Amino acid sequence: MKVLVINCGSSSLKYQVLDMTSETLLAKGLVERIGLDGSVLKHEKTNVEDKFIQETAMADHKEAIANVMAALVDPVYGVVKSMDEIGAVGHRVVHAGEKYAASVIIDDAVIAALEECVELAPLHNPPNLLGIAACRELMPKTPMVAVFDTAFHQTMPPESYIYAIPYEYYTKYGIRRYGFHGTSHKYVAERAAYMLGVNIEDLKIITCHLGNGASVSAIKRGKCIDTSMGFTPLAGLAMGTRSGDIDPAIISFIADKDGINADEVLNILNKKSGMLGVSGISSDFRDIAEAIGDGDQRAALALQVFAHSVRFYIGAYIAEMNGVDAIVFTAGVGENDINTRDIICNELGNLGIKLDLVKNKVRGKEAVISRDDSKVAILLIPTNEELVIARDTYELTK
Ligand code: ADP
């Protein structure tokens, strides 16, 4: 069975087609600037060198998906003769609140439930829902599955997800820690168990998803028991442009000083903070590394702040789980940034965490990067959220 995986952002759409009998990637692509000038579709068929690039106006997600469908059946770049060969569509959905702890087949009731979650993820859920609506319209007979970023974290115990604010804010407004990147944390934790040849039920794992957005999770016996992102993806680690955890009193303090409102301060915390804010240079760790090479002190400070925040959560989760067997690095920075992994793991030796500086010289592929005498295994595992979405979609619809 072939599965189409769709990940819709507000003006972009990423997709992959996988053959689930062999779990192979047949094609992938990206539509950018949906609803803006210069919409473009970039489509790549596995083992075909040329990319198919189509620059056509695409006013909305429905037009974008119609163009994706045309690329998928294209005689040269396509991977199916007709869309009937696509057995199911898996959609990435950011927020399911407390409604779903696992992936679900999409029907009208699921759509209604997800619409209720829009206020929890006003930037993310609306484009996810637009993508689902467009696919349902264009492929009315094809089953659709929703796979949620929040689902894997639903196993957290209340002491991890309840904020110490009046309890009514939880019951009335759903204010609690939800956590994100769940699909990635789940995937790399399962791969870690596989790589170590140990049943996940017997492991305590800390997964570090370090990309533009970044989060750390504590996974005990295969279940998430805590994660660094919170009510929104702004909490936890310092990130590319996000502040991560700060004293909440800072918000009204900046608002008063700069004469702006809380939303404007939040915009600064989301888009102008993190690595970008501290370094004043860039949110991209490659630019930060280059600036450090040129002797820039604030770039060096930004990286130390980031590494400190990751180390802080690793320490917290070791305490919460009363130990750790494996630490996993994944996503853009975690998979590629040798120096940042080194700085994070530096001086954790007394906790039994010893990075092998030679084995650590690896990028973008599965590897054990801890020393042989390290009590805790340190693993590099490239994430594959699309594969998890495709697997769940296949399992629910086959
Ligand atoms: P997201 O999916 O959250 O947008 P990614 O997981 O793709 O982010 O991570 C993107 C980030 O990874 C980039 O902003 C960059 O900082 C970092 N990155 C990618 N490649 C490298 C590299 N070779 N060295 C250091 N950092 C890298």
Q: Does 325 lie in the same domain as 231?
A: yes
- 187 assigned to some structural domain: no
Is pLDDT of 40 > 90? yes
Q: Which of 285, 328, 335, 343 to mutate to test the pocket of ligand 1 (most atoms within 8 A of CB)?
A: 285
- 165 assigned to some structural domain: no
Q: Does 254 lie in the same domain as 138?
A: no
9 lines ligand 1 (CB under 6 A): no
Instruction: Find the 142 Cα to ligand 1 centroid distance in Å.
Output: 34
Is pLDDT of 232 > 90? yes
Domain around 45 = 2-148
- 333 assigned to some structural domain: yes
CA-nearest residue, atom 21 of ligand 1: 336
Phi-psi bin for 340: left (phi > 0), alpha (psi -120 to 50), beta? alpha
Out of 50, 107, 149, 325, the active site residue is: 149
pLDDT in tens, 332-349: 999 999 999 999 999 899
Q: Does 109 lie in the same domain as 36?
A: yes
Whole-prediction pTM value?
Answer: 0.95
At 318, is the pLDDT very low, low, confident or very high (cuts 50, 70, 90)?
A: very high
- Angle at the Cα of 245 (from 305 to 312), degrees rounded to 5? 55
pLDDT score recorded for residue 307: 98
Q: How many domains does the chain have?
A: 2
Is pLDDT of 61 > 90? yes
- 193 assigned to some structural domain: no
Over pLDDT 90: what percentage of the chain? 97
pLDDT score recorded for residue 124: 87
pLDDT in tens, 130-165: 999 999 999 999 999 999 999 999 999 999 999 999
Distance CA 160, CA 312 (A): 16
Q: Does 105 lie in the same domain as 20?
A: yes
180 lines ligand 1 (CB under 6 A): no
Is pLDDT of 227 > 90? yes
Q: Does 84 lie in the same domain as 24?
A: yes
pLDDT score recorded for residue 123: 84
pLDDT score recorded for residue 10: 87
Is pLDDT of 122 > 90? no
pLDDT score recorded for residue 82: 95
Instruction: Find the 332 Cα to ligand 1 centroid distance in Å.
Output: 3
334 lines ligand 1 (CB under 6 A): no
Instruction: Find the 340 Cα to ligand 1 centroid distance in Å.
Output: 12
Q: Does 25 lie in the same domain as 98?
A: yes
pLDDT mean over 239-254 = 97
Q: Does 141 lie in the same domain as 55?
A: yes
Q: Does 359 lie in the same domain as 216?
A: yes
- 176 assigned to some structural domain: no
Instruction: Find the 210 Cα to ligand 1 centroid distance in Å.
Output: 8
Closest atom, ligand 1, to C-alpha of 289: 25
- For the question of residue 296 being annotated catalytic, the response is no
Task: Give the domain CATH number at 253.
Answer: 3.30.420.40
pLDDT in tens, 186-196: 999 999 999 99
Three-class DSSP labels, the chain: CEEEEEEECCCCEEEEEEECCCCEEEEEEEEECCCCCCCEEEEEECCCCCCEEECCCCCCHHHHHHHHHHHHCCCCCCCCCCHHHEEEEEEEECCCCCCCCCCEECCHHHHHHHHHCHHHCCCCHHHHHHHHHHHHHHCCCCCEEEEECCHHHHHCCHHHHCCCCCCHHHHHHCCCCCCCCHHHHHHHHHHHHHHHCCCHHHCEEEEEEECCCEEEEEEECCEEEEECCCCCCCCCCCCCCCCCCCCCHHHHHHHHHHCCCHHHHHHHHHHCCHHHHHHCCCCCHHHHHHHHHCCCHHHHHHHHHHHHHHHHHHHHHHHHHCCCCEEEEEHHHHHHCHHHHHHHHCCCHHHCCCECCCCCCCCCCCEECECCCCCCEEEECCCCHHHHHHHHHHHHHC
- 397 assigned to some structural domain: no
364 lines ligand 1 (CB under 6 A): no
pLDDT mean over 361-370 = 97
Q: Which amino acid is it at 125?
A: N
382 lines ligand 1 (CB under 6 A): no
Q: Which of 183, 185, 282, 333 to mutate to test the pocket of ligand 1 (most atoms within 8 A of CB)?
A: 333
Is pLDDT of 303 > 90? yes
pLDDT in tens, 62-113: 999 999 999 999 999 999 999 999 999 999 999 999 999 999 999 999 999 9
336 lines ligand 1 (CB under 6 A): yes
pLDDT mean over 38-61 = 94
- 182 assigned to some structural domain: no
Closest atom, ligand 1, to C-alpha of 383: 6
332 lines ligand 1 (CB under 6 A): yes
Q: Does 101 lie in the same domain as 38?
A: yes
At 121, is the pLDDT very low, low, confident or very high (cuts 50, 70, 90)?
A: confident
337 lines ligand 1 (CB under 6 A): yes
